Chains A and B, each alone.
Chain A
Amino acid sequence: MLQNFVMPDLYPAAPEIFLLLMSFLVLFVDLVFGATHRWMAALLSVVALLGCAAITLVTTDGQTTLTFGNMFVDDLLSDFLKLITYFAVIMMLIYGRQYLAERGLDKGEFYLLVLYATLGMMVMISAANFLTMYLGLELMSLSLYGLVAIDRDNPRGTEAAMKYFVLGALASGLLLYGMSMIYGATGSLELAGVAQALYQGNTEKAVLVFGLVFLVAGVAFKLGLVPFHMWIPDVYHGAPTVVTMFIGSAPKLAAFAMALRLLVYGLFGLAVDWQKMLLIMAVLSIGLGNLAAIAQTNIKRMLAYSAISHMGYMVLGLMSGLVGGQLDPFTAINAYSSALYYTVAYVLMSLGAFGMVLLLSRAGYEAENLEDFKGLNKRSPWFAAMMLIIMFSMAGIPFFIGFFAKFAVLLAAVKAGYTAVAVIAVMFSLIGAFYYLRVVKLMYFDAPVDSAPITAGLDLRVLLSLNGLAVAAFGLFPDAVMLVCTTALMRSL
């Protein structure tokens, strides 16, 4: 047996291996110094992620390399997504430093779980096989379940973790079931093998579509699309704000990668079928997300529903690759890169929005109600302006990045012939504008109820300012990020 063993090429997986080794170091350091020097685990985690970023940047060659028996792929798309993931996680760690310390949550477990969740996302992003995909997904999900419950004395957090776990396990089951069906029909677990089998056409269509339904359901759960969105509001609301910020940012990139790899790389032959499924879910998500967000008084819940609607818009791009069943490579890349751009833009805005919630929170006080934003312009004009930028960007008003993200997916949708869907989507974004406007109204038009000074540290202030300005700057100059998204997809498809 052993003489058949071929050492796989580890080079494409260098960032993952590095992160894994660093996580051991964090574990060790926390064991030895955790009681006295809590900051060391945090610092090491940031260093680990920066190291990953450096490795990813150095090893980027624009080539698509498969390794581990074609189970793991390293291409430009995965490099790009991983880089954004590292930075999203680093930002989350900096945003959360003070919040965690004030609540005694800055334990070694927190950083370890974050690192393992990140590792899971990286594996998902690079998955070229159903099994790798599932492995990454579970590593990420299990770490996230733990993170949601990290404040174990908080019953709401524990409840949210329980819900998340039960529903997440169900979704994983659905996904696995779908994968097994497709394996049964095509005889392959590799995405490329599945695509090949579909292309040759001698497969059982009924079994395939049956499996596809389960697969799409699993993907929709991770993206939080209606009707698989139930966990989002409760988890966003119940988890500590830092964890909410984490769940609301980087995992969206991983979920996007999962959707793209499974549906486009693997099951493109069934695109006509899954586009229809995505269409229904996109419209429902945009509709329900925007309508339900109006009724919220808790900003974390509001942002949860807003996340549902944003993922709906993102899927609008994802479902526009194939026009009338005909493949035009340019249109397809256009559509998928618009979805990628939307995801990246959303992650940036989401980090900023939750960063604002963290800014207003202080020891013993969670600023998670919309009321807490009242009169912010009187307390701090600068951060009110930052929140204004983020809110208008989420509402899709120019000159901010959110507008160009919506513009790109709408363009893709109209190009694919879904003009009516585009009209429905923009009408719901009008409804959505109302609740974003309400936040601006609270900040600018109302008198403050909470007049306590903002105690957030300098690191949070600087990062939040940079984040808000980035939302504006990438809106004024949207070209670069759009080009990167397109190039990454073009080189990787």
Chain B
Amino acid sequence: MNSQLLSLAIWVPILGAVLVFAVGSERRTLVRWLALAVAIAGFLVTIPLYTRFDATQSGMQFVEQLPWITRFNVWYLLGVDGISMPFILLNSLITVFVVLAGWEVIEEKQAQYMGAFLAMSGLMNGIFSALDGVLFYVFFEASLIPMYIIIGVWGGPNRVYAAIKFFLYTLLGSLLMLVALIWLFLESGGSFSILDWHQLPIGIKPQILIFIAFLVSFAVKVPMWPVHTWLPDAHVEAPTGGSVVLAAIALKLGAYGFVRFSLPIVPDASHTLAPMMIALSLIAVVYIGFVALVQADMKKLIAYSSISHMGFVTLGFFIFNQIGVEGALVQMISHGFISAAMFLCVGVMYDRMHSRMIADYGGVVHTMPKFAALFVFFAMANSGLPATSGFVGEFMVILGAIKTNFWLGFAAATTLILGAAYTLWMIKRVVYGPAGNPHVAELQDIDGREFLVLGLLALCVLLMGVYPFPFTEVMHASVDNLLKHVALSKL
């Protein structure tokens, strides 16, 4: 059965973006409402993906197939399984929040700002649903263009450096992946289908080379230590919406790449190199956790916290057990909500004070009680408080790690302490205490729009923390299948 749902999820935002560009920045009110309408429409078309999803099946659903480049046997081949489907919903939902977040604060070229985010959203849905290697690559790289523009045009003082660094770093990774994709095409006798590659027998030496090519590409995106240095720069300089999309969605692309490409296509290399991957992940979790502790800039702190949390995700993947992998996926979605909310919170304060420095704040709770309540809630979630979504993923990964090796689990569990330390220390200095300076005393509490955005996110975080079943249910069969597949040697 050919369903058009995935195409809608991709092209509704992209065509909407073209429409927004066409309206132009002069008509600000129209642009905003149009962008919001497109974002909401983009989210609504993804809802049937969840409601009509058959959680008992592990295969691809909502498959669409059309010839694209017949010369190289490249297909417009889309489909989702339990692993990729939730990210499409997450992405489309976050886009709505991003549009709302940029409602008033973006004064310059608003049409281009909104359009870039909408286009980005469509491209990311493309990445999560592409089942053809070239199609995946095309979406993967094309999504760099809007992000480059977003950081460079609406970013902070050092935005040009950050934008170019972001672009070149990510391009470096993906170019090697391109060569690996071409190699797989030739090796498989002329197929670019990712599902065909899952079944392709490959010798151990090429497997390792392919694994490394994919690793460079995805590790930069995740980002894993030591190729993470672009992220703090990009986050700090990007406008709030840019940081939100980067943290909530763009970072997930790398982790998703591991599950879709590395693990099933080169399982033996994955097993062989798993110790290295686990070591890199633990360095990210522990070392970057310490780095986060000493940050003076809130956005930088959250950026490092993201790297640390993503370390958990890669750790979960490379311990190869059901609870670990599922935990990692839950962690990805949960981090999507929490990091988005954290960046939005910093954005709320930045819009008022034009400073991201912790030292410039203090006692925000006195003037912004509603905001403070939400900010503290998200901070708790970020440090993994039970009953928030942050806890579920971390707990599952730690359980999985202990199953493999107690000390591994022990090392991973230090994140609960470190995460709490850097997040709560920041909260203490920003939210509580006496008012830091006269400007803080003049702050206005959040308005209805901001409350709506943060409140909805808080609801998501809470729901997922209390009742994660709807999330784990859909991914269960697919993860099970993935692990069975990875356990089989391809040699």
Contact = CB atoms under 8 A, between A and B. Distances in A.
Interface stretch (B141-149, B279-287, B479-487): B141-149
Interface string A369-388: 00000000100010001001
Contact of B148 (A399, A429, A437): A437
B477 interface: no
Given A407-B178, A422-B182, A430-B172, A445 B160 contact: yes
A426 B213 CA distance: 13
A414 B186 contact: yes
A359 interface: no
Contacts of A438: 164
Contacts of B142: 397-399
Given A397-B145, A437-B148, A415 B178 contact: no
B112 interface: yes
Interface string A400-412: 0001100110110
B411 interface: no
Interface residues of A, number: 36
A414 B182 contact: yes
Contacts of B175: 426-427, 429-430
Given A426-B178, A445-B163, A403 B138 contact: yes
Contacts of B178: 407, 410, 426
A441 interface: yes
Contacts of B488: none
B365 to A, nearest CB: 37
B11 to A, nearest CB: 11
Interface string B145-170: 10011001100000110011001100
Contact of B153 (A403, A408, A434, A445): A445
A440 B164 CA distance: 10
B216 to A, nearest CB: 11
A433 interface: yes
Interface residues of B, number: 39
B439 interface: no
Given A445-B159, A483-B71, A377 B109 contact: yes
Contacts of B176: 423, 426
A441 B163 contact: yes
Given A381-B112, A403-B138, A479-B70, A423 B171 contact: no
Interface in A419-462: 419, 422-423, 426-427, 429-430, 433-434, 437-438, 440-441, 444-445
A268 interface: no
B210 to A, nearest CB: 12
B53 interface: no
A479 B69 contact: yes
Given A397-B145, A423-B179, A433 B69 contact: no
Interface of A: 377, 381, 385, 388, 392, 397-399, 403-404, 407-408, 410-411, 414-415, 419, 422-423, 426-427, 429-430, 433-434, 437-438, 440-441, 444-445, 478-479, 482-483, 486
The 4 A-B residue pairs with the shortest CB-CB distance, nearest first, are A398-B138, A426-B175, A445-B152, A482-B71
